[in-house]
Amino acid sequence: MFFQSFKARSRLYPRGALAELTVGLVAGLLTCLSWPGLTQAQTLDDDVLALANAEKPALIQTLQEVVEIESGSGDYEGLSRLADYIAEALSELGGDVELLDANEEVYRMFDTPERIGPMVHARFEGNGDKRILLIAHMDTVYLRGMIDDQPFRIDGNRAYGLGISDDKQGVALIIHTVAMLQELGFADYGTLTVLINGDEEVSSPGSRATLVRMGSEHDAVFSVEPSSIGNDTLSLATSGIGAATMTVHGRASHAGAAPEQGRNALYEMAHQLLQLDDLSEPENGFKVNWTLAQVGTKRNVIPAEAVATADVRMLRQEDFSRLEDRIRERIANKRIPDTDISLSFENRRPPLNATDAARSLAAHAQVVYQELDMELAVSDQATGGGTDAAFAALETDAPVIERFGLQGFGAHTSNDEYVDLNSVVPRLYLMTRMIMDVSTGAINLAE
């Protein structure tokens, strides 16, 4: 296997040694940093903070190893290797781990891989009654071989790598949060479940049903997508995502000898796109942008077919549902007779909407962050991106919160993607404390 035994490199100190480490390390931290923001109502958990600091080097090593296993959404071999890596790490930490086939129940879209990578599902059984689900994804938007020119590297407090922010940091953070809970001997949850899928970047065609089902079976869901560099934030809302594809069918002909015998699908598509350029409703968070077009076979042939695809973002599912009628009404006005137009629509993701339960849980997270004398923002407004948190929330009233991950920048870029290593300790502390507080009833999930 790629990695040294996970337990051998994680911070697994004997209980006596842990107590000694905790006292010494935290005393030093308090001396150096003073923690001026602490109050009696915001009591720093010394054991958790000490472990978060001690766990940081191991997390960075895991981060490097998961980045160095290339795992584009269409790279089944790479995804399988990374799934084995994650499964072994979670198994060594005591989880009941299985690899789930994501090809059994697939919602096929235009970019769905022929074979979808497996999901890693791990269960940790505890002594309590609360059920907590942690989700992240291991697939990236990058093609195999790109790592040769852009390897993992650390520059100051930044760790760079393809997919490191979106979302391999989420994989590493979950693994090391579980390691911290095990070292603390904490098992007051009923079930702590981990689900890591390999198709998020293509709208989760094979994992969406599992995400919906598992979300409905748990009392709280923490999704570990990255927070942003500029704003240390948790998110309670994400956009829904859809796609609309328009295919214009014309007639081919020689562009020089007999263009009049053809029916130019390119001209008709251009006409239709101009008619469909005002479908967005920004005041409702509804955005329709035509972003892809394919047309033509040769320079001297009148094109017989043209295809255009629109990216659709919505805050309300009903807005997407009525888009089809709006488009069909517009395309009835054709420029070129004897052309036909067909439409297809893909419901890629539902929106995640903020709930009172999620707001209450996020408010507790802000209190936890204050224990570190740090400010945590909470956003209940979608900004245009969509994530798997929306699937997990689709059939439950339980709180679902997004962006528990490290602060990152440059997702989906070729050479700028990085995470801020200064966010490792605060986010390890936050995740661990939130799991502990949900498990022990320190948070009233019914609010």
Catalytic center residues: 139, 200
Give the integer Cα–Cα distance in Å for 119 and 109: 19
Specify the DSSP element, H or E, that contains 234: strand 233-235
Q: Which of 389, 367, 25 is nearest to 207 (CA)?
A: 389
Q: Positive or negative CA dihedral for 206, 211, 212, 213?
A: positive
CA 420, 421, 425, 431 torsion-angle sign? positive
Return the half-sphere exposure (C-beta side, CA atoms, 13 A cut-off) of residue 192. Answer: 26
The structure tokens 């290797």 sit at 81
Cα 321 to chain centroid, rounded: 24
For residue 344, the surrounding DSSP H or E stretch is strand 340-349
Strand boundaries in 51-189, DSSP class E: 96-100, 119-125, 131-137, 153-155, 158-160
C-alpha span between 219 and 257 (Å, rounded): 69
CB neighbours of residue 265 within 10 Å: 26
Please give the backbone phi and psi of residue 364, each rounded to the nearest 5 degrees, phi first.
-65, -40
148 prior amide bond cis, ω within 30: no
Quote the CA–CA distance of 251 and 356 in Å, as a whole number: 56
To the nearest 10 degrees (0 to 180), the angle between helices 356-370 and 424-440 is 120
Host H or E run for residue 214: helix 208-216
Q: 372, 367, 382: which is closest to 315 by C-alpha?
A: 382
Give CA–CA dist 319/323, Å, rounded: 6
Distance CA 389, CA 259 (A): 52
Residue 226: in which H helix or E strand, if any? Answer: none
Instruction: Find the distance separating the first CA and the last CA of the chain, reported in whole Å.
Output: 45
